[in-house]
């Protein structure tokens, strides 16, 4: 409540307005000279997250926040894992794509890594709970579900007698056009549609080529195209992945340098500095000195003169210095964080922002490969389904071809849908949409960071 400068009985509208107003004031971009601007902005966002949710606000009003919850950003391990999944779903296509591509494989890995980080799934020995067999099983379930959903999507066209199927083709094309129009407004909608479209088109061409062309030649050609395209994706992911690893290594080296510098800066005070400090204490009144001791909870029993109290404070200062030095060196040994200087924090923040485009390119490339590999398997299941007649499978393949070709030609309706957005803005916008979704607010696939920013500016100006 203090962070947002509002009373404890503030309405939902007042909370939202106060957040936008305070966020505009303390945004890091508006305060480039303030090394703590980023932390302030994060704390403000956390305050808004808690107070804008009726359940979290009621819990906070009753219990406050303990240190463990605060360390985790107010979220338990399960909530953090759900947020990780939701983040990737919002960033890549939103709800509209989920029935087609399921939950991206990369989000399952991140889900497990978040679980490890929060201690929710680590082994007693502290090792990662990442289970490759479980990931494979999850991927298989995803492929089966995508196949079931695709078969259902194609059912109106594929089933019924021949005349019914001919009459339904027009309706199916209208359905396809409507789906493409809606998907074209989702974040990264264009590259995702091209990935889905390519997977459907090639798998349909392989099946139809094998069934209808002379000696299955057309099917063999389509199969070669599919193999070459997939190999190209693997090479692209490996190339971008190497760049991401290099960026992480550079940031790690930068952090290590900052830690070493932080410990190096902890030089003990000189004799002249100690003398000056003592004299500054002696120059104070006894009341002021006792006030400082009370605040630090220091025992001054038996101290009648200012010099005696000053010695207690000097001893306390010496202890504080040694505690800081011990914490810094222990942190270095344990691999834990050491408090960095404002300059070092700025360097780390700049390095992170410079690396965001590289990380984003890797995530996009890996996600598109994941989509094509998954839908290749799902499409094959749909077309190899022997529980239906061969004519039905051929009709399914033709429907997949129609859907695939339409998606392969589709264009994004917005810059975000075409992937034409700065990495920093995309991550910030995605996080804001994820938080809004987690709080039960209505979020649309075509909501983008610019709309959110403009709304924040307008409401803060009221």
User: At residue 303, what are phi and psi to the nearest 5 degrees?
Assistant: -90, 105
Residue 228 CB contacts under 8 Å (≥ 6 apart), including other chains? none
Report residue 378's pLDDT band, with 50, 70 and 90 as the boundaries. Answer: very high
Q: Are 132 and 378 in contact (CB under 8 A)?
A: no
Taking alpha carbons only, the member of 323, 312, 191 closest to residue 266 is 323
Say what the pLDDT of residue 164 is: 63
Say what the pLDDT of residue 334 is: 40
The answer on pLDDT for 328 being more than 80 is no
> How many other CB atoms are there within 10 angstroms of residue 72's CB atom?
16
Helix, strand, coil percentages for the chain (3-state, nearest 5): 75, 0, 25
Write out pLDDT tens, residues 224-254: 999 998 888 888 888 888 888 888 888 878 8
% of the chain at pLDDT higher than 70? 74
214 token code pair? 């002379």
Q: Are 237 and 369 in contact (CB under 8 A)?
A: yes
Taking alpha carbons only, the member of 204, 159, 207, 265 closest to residue 404 is 204
What is d(CA 236, CA 48) in angstroms, rounded to the nearest whole number?
Answer: 40
More confident call, 38 vs 291: 291
Say what the pLDDT of residue 450 is: 44
What is d(CA 222, CA 354) in angstroms, rounded to the nearest whole number?
Answer: 40
Distances (CA, A) of 143 to 36, 48, 149, 370, 375: 46, 38, 10, 11, 7
Say what the pLDDT of residue 96 is: 84
Of 363-367, 426-430, 446-450, where does the model show the most confidence?
363-367
User: At residue 442, what are phi and psi to the nearest 5 degrees?
Assistant: -75, 125
Say what the pLDDT of residue 371 is: 92
The answer on pLDDT for 161 being more than 70 is no
Taking alpha carbons only, the member of 453, 454, 432 closest to residue 443 is 432
Say what the pLDDT of residue 377 is: 95
The answer on pLDDT for 342 being more than 90 is no
Domain limits of the chain? 2-63, 81-123+130-251+363-460
Say what the pLDDT of residue 121 is: 45
Say what the pLDDT of residue 339 is: 58
Say what the pLDDT of residue 319 is: 86
The answer on pLDDT for 447 being more than 60 is no
| Secondary element (H or E) of residue 175 | helix 162-183
Report residue 437's pLDDT band, with 50, 70 and 90 as the boundaries. Answer: low
What does the angle CA 9 – CA 13 – CA 16 come to, to the nearest 5 degrees?
Answer: 100
Q: Indicate the burial class of 390 (C-beta count within 10 angstroms; 0-12, 13-18, 19 or more).
A: exposed
The answer on pLDDT for 454 being more than 50 is no
Q: Indicate the burial class of 146 (C-beta count within 10 angstroms; 0-12, 13-18, 19 or more).
A: buried
Q: Are 407 and 197 in contact (CB under 8 A)?
A: yes
The answer on pLDDT for 38 being more than 80 is no
The answer on pLDDT for 219 being more than 50 is yes
Strands (E), 115-186: none
Say what the pLDDT of residue 79 is: 53
What value does the mean pLDDT take over residues 200-215?
Answer: 92
Say what the pLDDT of residue 106 is: 62
Say what the pLDDT of residue 133 is: 79
The answer on pLDDT for 100 being more than 90 is yes
Write out pLDDT tens, residues 248-297: 888 878 877 776 666 665 667 888 888 999 999 999 999 999 999 998 88
What is d(CA 258, CA 50) in angstroms, rounded to the nearest whole number?
Answer: 33
More confident call, 95 vs 459: 95
The answer on pLDDT for 380 being more than 50 is yes
What value does the mean pLDDT take over residues 127-147?
Answer: 79
Four-point Cα dihedral 341, 342, 343, 348, nearest 10: 90
Q: Are 156 and 172 in contact (CB under 8 A)?
A: yes
What value does the mean pLDDT take over residues 451-462?
Answer: 50
Say what the pLDDT of residue 153 is: 93
Mapped onto helix, strand or coil, the DSSP state of residue 53 is coil
What is d(CA 461, CA 44) in angstroms, rounded to the nearest whole number?
Answer: 18
Write out pLDDT tens, residues 175-185: 999 999 999 98
Report residue 186's pLDDT band, with 50, 70 and 90 as the boundaries. Answer: confident
Say what the pLDDT of residue 453 is: 44
Say what the pLDDT of residue 24 is: 76
Lowest mean pLDDT among 34-38, 320-324, 338-342, 412-416: 338-342
Query: In whole numbers, what is the pLDDT of the chain averaged over residues?
Result: 78
What value does the mean pLDDT take over residues 50-72?
Answer: 67
What is d(CA 437, CA 447) in angstroms, rounded to the nearest whole number?
Answer: 12
pTM over 0.85: no
What does the angle CA 448 – CA 454 – CA 459 come to, to the nearest 5 degrees?
Answer: 125
More confident call, 71 vs 380: 380
More confident call, 170 vs 438: 170
Say what the pLDDT of residue 333 is: 44
| Secondary element (H or E) of residue 232 | helix 217-264
DSSP notation for 326-380: HHHHHHHHHT---PPPHHHHHHHHHHHHHHHHHHHHHHHHHHHHHHHHHHHHHHH
Q: Which CATH code is given to the segment(s) 2-63?
A: 1.10.287.110
Q: Are 384 and 170 in contact (CB under 8 A)?
A: no
Q: Are 433 and 90 in contact (CB under 8 A)?
A: yes
Length of the chain, in residues:
462
Placement of tokens 């509209």 in the chain: 96
Placement of tokens 């889900």 in the chain: 111
What value does the mean pLDDT take over residues 73-88?
Answer: 56
What value does the mean pLDDT take over residues 81-87?
Answer: 61
Distances (CA, A) of 370 to 199, 205, 364: 11, 20, 10
The answer on pLDDT for 189 being more than 80 is yes
């Amino acid at each position: 409540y203090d962070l947002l400068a509002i009373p404890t009985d503030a309405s939902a509208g007042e909370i939202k307005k106060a957040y936008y107003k305070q966020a505009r004031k303390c945004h890091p971009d508006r305060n480039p000279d303030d090394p703590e601007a980023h932390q302030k902005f994060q704390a403000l966002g956390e305050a808004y997250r808690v107070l804008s949710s009726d359940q979290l606000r009621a819990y906070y009003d009753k219990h406050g926040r303990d240190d463990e919850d605060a360390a985790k950003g107010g979220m338990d391990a399960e909530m953090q894992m759900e947020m990780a999944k939701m983040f990737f779903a919002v960033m890549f296509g939103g709800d509209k794509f989920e029935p087609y591509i399921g939950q991206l494989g990369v989000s399952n890995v991140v889900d497990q890594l978040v679980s490890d980080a929060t201690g929710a799934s680590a082994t007693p020995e502290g090792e990662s709970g990442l289970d490759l067999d479980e990931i494979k099983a999850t991927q298989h379930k995803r492929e089966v579900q995508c196949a079931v959903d695709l078969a259902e999507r194609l059912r109106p066209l594929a089933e019924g007698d021949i005349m019914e199927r001919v009459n339904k083709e027009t309706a199916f094309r209208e359905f396809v056009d409507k789906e493409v129009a809606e998907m074209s407004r989702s974040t990264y909608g264009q590259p995702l549609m091209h990935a889905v479209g390519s997977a459907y088109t090639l798998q349909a061409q392989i099946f139809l080529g094998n069934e209808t062309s002379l000696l299955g030649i057309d099917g063999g050609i389509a199969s070669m195209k599919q193999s070459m395209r997939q190999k190209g994706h693997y090479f692209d992911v490996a190339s971008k992945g190497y760049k991401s690893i290099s960026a992480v290594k550079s940031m790690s080296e930068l952090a290590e340098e900052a830690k070493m510098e932080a410990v190096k800066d902890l030089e003990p005070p000189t004799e002249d500095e100690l003398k000056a400090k003592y004299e500054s204490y002696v120059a104070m009144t006894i009341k002021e000195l006792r006030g400082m001791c009370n605040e630090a909870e220091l025992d001054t029993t038996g101290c009648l003169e200012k010099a005696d109290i000053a010695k207690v404070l000097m001893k306390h200062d010496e202890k504080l210095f040694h505690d800081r030095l011990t914490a810094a060196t222990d942190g270095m040994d344990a691999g834990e964080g050491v408090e960095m200087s404002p300059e070092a924090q700025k360097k780390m923040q700049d390095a992170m922002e410079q690396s965001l485009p590289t990380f984003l390119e890797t995530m996009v490339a890996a996600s598109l490969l994941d989509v094509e590999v998954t839908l290749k398997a799902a499409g094959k299941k749909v077309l190899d389904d022997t529980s239906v007649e061969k004519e039905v499978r051929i009709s399914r393949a033709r429907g997949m071809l129609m859907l695939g070709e339409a998606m392969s030609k589709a264009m994004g309706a917005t810059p975000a849908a075409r992937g034409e957005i700065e990495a920093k803005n995309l991550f910030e916008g995605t996080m804001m949409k994820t938080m809004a979704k987690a709080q039960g607010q209505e979020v649309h696939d075509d909501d983008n960071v610019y709309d959110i920013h403009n709304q924040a500016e307008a409401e803060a100006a009221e």
